[in-house]
Chain A
Amino acid sequence: MTLPSDQYGALAFSMRGISKSFGSVCANEQIDFMVRQGEIHALLGENGSGKSTLMNVLSGVYRPDCGSLEVFGKQRFFHSPGDAIRCGIGMVYQHFKLAESLTATDNIMAGLSRTQIADAIRSVRQAADSDGHEDKTAAPIRSSGYRKNWKSDLVRRFASRFHVEFDPDKPASQLSVSEKQSVEIIKVLIRGAKILVLDEPTAVLTPQETKRLFGVLRNMRDRGCSVVFISHKLGEIMELCDRVTVLRKGRSVDTLVVSEVDTYDLVERMVGHKVELEIARPDPNPEHEECLRVDSLSYLDEKGVRKLSGVSFSTFYGEILGVAGLAGGGQKELCEVIAGIIRPDGGAIAVDGESITGLSPRSISAKGVSMCFIPEDRLGMGLVASMGMVENVLLKEYAFQKGIFIHSDAARSKSEQIVEELDILTPSISHPVRLLSGGNIQKVILGREIHLKPKLMIAAYAVRGLDIQSSYTIYRLLNEQKARNVSVLYIGEDLDVLMALCDRILVLCQGENMGIVDARNTTKIELGQMMSGTKLEVLRSGVDYVSNR
């Protein structure tokens, strides 16, 4: 351990024997969790292992069924999130809690007491004094006259103390995801939080934004604050955190010093057994039989922005074609056009040589095209959240059934089969899917699509937000589809995965096809060049563009 020992003497908080169940689901069972002052402590666990529940108990959102909580040496029992924040515990939720129509400043200032405001003003002034700024910046924020924008001034200066930047006068709806996160962080810090809890903060950030966030968190640790960092991204934990507590199936497994363990060790503790971190890649069907053919496809969105321009490619049976590209590069539109959800402005789409351009989603799906699109909030597309698995399976089938009554027996047995095959954790197949964990929801979508026995399967962001174990299950499922001679179109974010899983990779940049490369013979650098707008033929046109860089 590299930290000097005097930096972590006292405990910031300790949770002992915490249990919490929701109906028949036991989310936390006798969990012990202790965090010291001045450390970044990771909370690691698979989806559904109880991380978020435990932190919601800490922040006063859930009341535990049993167990005790001590904060800065005092026994506490929280009746509301307000109690927790008054004890110095600040939570940044995975799904931000901001009023979209209010400005950043209003979101931050709402609910602050007069003393909290006075404290914030004092801390800003002290910082200005100690930094030896000119009188101007150190001037009282609330000068004698009434100043309309003293609040946004205060917020801006308070944020700059933590090297966080956003426009305090913008409504929350106009802030970027990372700015919203900054607002959330400042919101709890201005309330005097000494313990900062972040629930999967990097899930929605770009690598650059993640780096900036890490800087902010290290800065907080150096000021003696405690940071609880919930994540299942091992690399980030290894890079950022001092200690890690591993949860498995609602129980605490271990607390370890990060510098003394390696990733394989952590995965084993998290999952409970050894996990193969290699993705198998069976050889594709050598016959190159064409399944989907897309010809110079174009699409303008309702604002008139060109999302796809002249995209042409084919997919083959028994092969996984990957699609890479920066966020918003047209991947979503490509999927939706193929599935018939939106209509293209030009171009043709054919399956097995038969045109499907302009058909309704239902008739396209009857032709054997199935889509599994995981949006950022997971539940937005493809599933009806309040319904059980059986109804959700039926959604895709009822239209083709005979008679006026619904036949749910087949769907019922199919659901049971999906649960078993994909190892889905659910109390019953009629349990509302909304109440399942993210990974299980995604497995339900995928399982349903697989059971339609499609010719072409579109899997877009299928592992978004998933932990290692579930991600590898999904890779395995996609490979099984490939082995069954299904043509798979895989839209992914992680280049390493694309290169390990797919047979060919198509790169989209601003709605244009940059070229298709063989996944076995490409490099991340080459893909990166194409993602930022260099066409493959330019890259390989004799000029040794890549190696010159």
Chain B
Amino acid sequence: MIAILTRPEFIASAISFSVILLLGTLGELLTERAGHLNLGVEGMMLLGGSFGYYAAVQTNSLLITFLAACLGSGLGALMYGFLTVTLRVNQNVTGLALTMFGAGLANSVGSKVAGTTTPEAIRAYFLYQPFHIDHPSNDFLKYINRAFLSHDLFVYSAILLAFILAVFLFRTREGLALRLTGENTAAADASGIKVTRIKYMYIVLGGMLCGLGGLYLPLVQQGSWTDSMTAGQGWLVVALVIFVRWHPIKAIAGSFVFGALSILGYYVQLNPDLSAMPIFNQYIMSMFPFLLTIIVLVIASARKRAWSGPAEIGHSYFREDR
């Protein structure tokens, strides 16, 4: 088992897999920092993935691919924002609706490009590995190279983004305004912060990040579109945000753990001794991330004080409320 966990190939694919979760977590984290729980992550990931992949196949342009992914997921998030911020609809119900709506729309967009693979022109961008060492001089470097340095620019950008968001949240005035909005919207409003603008902005931005995460799956990892291909990863994100306690840097580690668990099954299958054991059955293995999710939620509810998120999550704000 330990042999599997320390294999450089395993670590490398865990990292590559966790990028999807990381971007989703960062996005959902922003949304929740504004005091809104968006359960539609799964839907927004699929929207971003399908719109982006469709654009990639149609245009061969990386820029348009990214823009399309942001457009798809951003529109989903905007809808959520309009319903929950302006119309003050229940956030949970709206998020669930977005998941279903997003999956439906994404699958119908995706069906137009079913059976294609990622165009070579796009694929080429993701073959570039900026930190890859061509001729590692010793075994240690070889290992590091294989595990950590052989990723595309997208992966490193996502990790860099986590650090940028941490600085933004805890060091800038705008970040403080966002945090106050999520902790006490009435206080933010009374302090002269434009709370509606903040909420819309970070709900949509968060949605776009989820969409970019969702894009990585068909565009790079799988290289083709399959219906509802996120297969529950959007739900992992919702738990991950709690697991990392709304902190962008912890999100890097958190999504790595969940990413590793998600692909563990595949690597266990490669080892006949382990895969013969009933507990390492591939179906049981695929449950592991969700088991961890349940454990995380139990810990979170047992240690309410330290694990409670922004206080306004789930509440709608109406200024003239009595």
Closest-CB distance, A63 to chain B (whole angstroms): 8
Cβ contact within 8 Å between B176 and A61: no
Given contacts A98-B187, A106-B180, contact A111 B319 (CB under 8 A): no
For B176, what are the chain A residues with a Cβ–Cβ distance below 8 Å? 106, 109-111
Cβ contact within 8 Å between B183 and A101: yes
Give per-residue flags for B282-312: 1 if the beta carbon is below 8 A from chain A beta carbons, else 0.
Answer: 0000000000000000000000000000010
Cβ contact within 8 Å between A100 and B177: no
Within 8 A of B (CB), among A82-109: 82, 85-86, 91, 93, 97-102, 106-107, 109
Cβ contact within 8 Å between B311 and A81: no
Question: Could you say which of B113-121, B188-196, B213-221, B254-262 contacts chain A?
Answer: B188-196
Report how far A82 CA is from B189 CA in the complex, Å: 7
For B173, what are the chain A residues with a Cβ–Cβ distance below 8 Å? 109-110, 112, 114
Cβ contact within 8 Å between A80 and B183: no
Report how far A468 CA is from B18 CA in the complex, Å: 64
B97 CB within 8 Å of chain A: no
Given contacts A110-B179, A110-B193, contact A435 B322 (CB under 8 A): yes
Cβ contact within 8 Å between B193 and A111: yes
Number of interface residues of B (CB under 8 A): 20
B139 CB within 8 Å of chain A: no
A191 CB within 8 Å of chain B: yes
For B311, what are the chain A residues with a Cβ–Cβ distance below 8 Å? 99-101
Report how far A107 CA is from B176 CA in the complex, Å: 9
Residue in B190, B193, B194 whose beta carbon sits within 8 Å of that of A91 in the complex: B190
Residue in B183, B319, B320 whose beta carbon sits within 8 Å of that of A99 in the complex: B183
A405 CB within 8 Å of chain B: no
Report how far A110 CA is from B322 CA in the complex, Å: 24
B184 CB within 8 Å of chain A: yes
Closest chain A residue, CB of each to CB of B187: A97
Cβ contact within 8 Å between A107 and B194: no
Closest-CB distance, B184 to chain A (whole angstroms): 4
B186 CB within 8 Å of chain A: yes
Report how far A109 CA is from B192 CA in the complex, Å: 11
Closest chain A residue, CB of each to CB of B184: A99
Cβ contact within 8 Å between B184 and A97: yes
Cβ contact within 8 Å between B192 and A85: yes
Cβ contact within 8 Å between A111 and B191: yes
Report how far A97 CA is from B183 CA in the complex, Å: 10
Closest-CB distance, A146 to chain B (whole angstroms): 10
Cβ contact within 8 Å between A81 and B190: yes
Give per-residue flags for B181-216: 1 if the beta carbon is below 8 A from chain A beta carbons, else 0.
Answer: 001101111111110000000000000000000000
Cβ contact within 8 Å between A102 and B183: yes
Cβ contact within 8 Å between B187 and A107: yes
For A93, what are the chain B residues with a Cβ–Cβ distance below 8 Å? 190
Cβ contact within 8 Å between A110 and B188: yes
The bracket for how many chain A residues form the interface is: 20 to 34
Report how far A187 CA is from B190 CA in the complex, Å: 10
For A400, what are the chain B residues with a Cβ–Cβ distance below 8 Å? none
Report how far A167 CA is from B223 CA in the complex, Å: 56
Given contacts A97-B184, A100-B183, contact A110 B320 (CB under 8 A): no
Cβ contact within 8 Å between A98 and B184: yes
Cβ contact within 8 Å between A82 and B184: no
Report how far A99 CA is from B189 CA in the complex, Å: 12
Interface centre among A63, A81, A91, A107, by most chain B C-beta atoms within 10 angstroms, is A81
For A82, what are the chain B residues with a Cβ–Cβ distance below 8 Å? 189, 191-194
Closest-CB distance, A194 to chain B (whole angstroms): 15
> Is chain A's interface secondary structure helix, strand, loop, or mixed overall?
loop
Cβ contact within 8 Å between B189 and A80: yes
For A434, what are the chain B residues with a Cβ–Cβ distance below 8 Å? 322
For A111, what are the chain B residues with a Cβ–Cβ distance below 8 Å? 176-177, 180, 188, 191-193
Report how far A102 CA is from B187 CA in the complex, Å: 12
Give per-residue flags for A57-86: 1 if the beta carbon is below 8 A from chain B beta carbons, else 0.
Answer: 001011100000000000000001110011
Closest-CB distance, A110 to chain B (whole angstroms): 4
Cβ contact within 8 Å between A61 and B180: no
Give per-residue flags for A103-127: 1 if the beta carbon is below 8 A from chain B beta carbons, else 0.
Answer: 0001101111010000000000000
Report how far A191 CA is from B192 CA in the complex, Å: 9
For A85, what are the chain B residues with a Cβ–Cβ distance below 8 Å? 190-192
Cβ contact within 8 Å between A86 and B192: yes
Closest-CB distance, A480 to chain B (whole angstroms): 32
Closest-CB distance, B303 to chain A (whole angstroms): 15
For A109, what are the chain B residues with a Cβ–Cβ distance below 8 Å? 173, 176
Report how far A329 CA is from B190 CA in the complex, Å: 36
Cβ contact within 8 Å between A81 and B189: yes
Interface centre among B176, B187, B190, by most chain A C-beta atoms within 10 angstroms, is B190
Closest-CB distance, A379 to chain B (whole angstroms): 12
Report how far A416 CA is from B311 CA in the complex, Å: 39
Closest-CB distance, A101 to chain B (whole angstroms): 6
Report how far A91 CA is from B187 CA in the complex, Å: 11
Closest chain A residue, CB of each to CB of B309: A101
Closest chain B residue, CB of each to CB of A95: B186
Closest-CB distance, B312 to chain A (whole angstroms): 9
Report how far A22 CA is from B322 CA in the complex, Å: 9
For B192, what are the chain A residues with a Cβ–Cβ distance below 8 Å? 80-82, 85-86, 111, 191
Interface centre among B179, B187, B188, B320, by most chain A C-beta atoms within 10 angstroms, is B187
Cβ contact within 8 Å between B190 and A110: no
Closest-CB distance, B282 to chain A (whole angstroms): 42
Closest-CB distance, A135 to chain B (whole angstroms): 29
Report how far A507 CA is from B239 CA in the complex, Å: 52
Closest-CB distance, A61 to chain B (whole angstroms): 6
Closest-CB distance, A106 to chain B (whole angstroms): 6
Report how far A499 CA is from B176 CA in the complex, Å: 51
For A102, what are the chain B residues with a Cβ–Cβ distance below 8 Å? 179-180, 183
Cβ contact within 8 Å between A99 and B187: yes
Cβ contact within 8 Å between B194 and A99: no
Report how far A93 CA is from B194 CA in the complex, Å: 19
Cβ contact within 8 Å between B319 and A110: no
Q: Other than the known A93-B190, A102-B183, A111-B191, what 14 A-B pairs have Cβ atoms closer than 8 Å?
A: A22-B322, A61-B190, A63-B320, A80-B189, A80-B194, A82-B192, A82-B194, A91-B190, A97-B187, A98-B187, A99-B179, A99-B180, A99-B183, A111-B176
For the complex of A and B, the 6 pairs showing the least CB-CB separation, nearest first, are A99-B183, A82-B192, A97-B187, A111-B191, A111-B193, A110-B180
A-B contact pairs, 23 of them (CB 8 A): A22-B322, A61-B189, A61-B320, A63-B320, A81-B191, A81-B319, A82-B191, A100-B184, A102-B183, A106-B176, A106-B179, A107-B187, A110-B177, A110-B180, A110-B193, A111-B176, A111-B177, A111-B191, A111-B193, A112-B191, A114-B173, A191-B191, A191-B192
Chain B contacts to A: CB under 8 angstroms: 173, 176-177, 179-180, 183-184, 186-194, 311, 319-320, 322
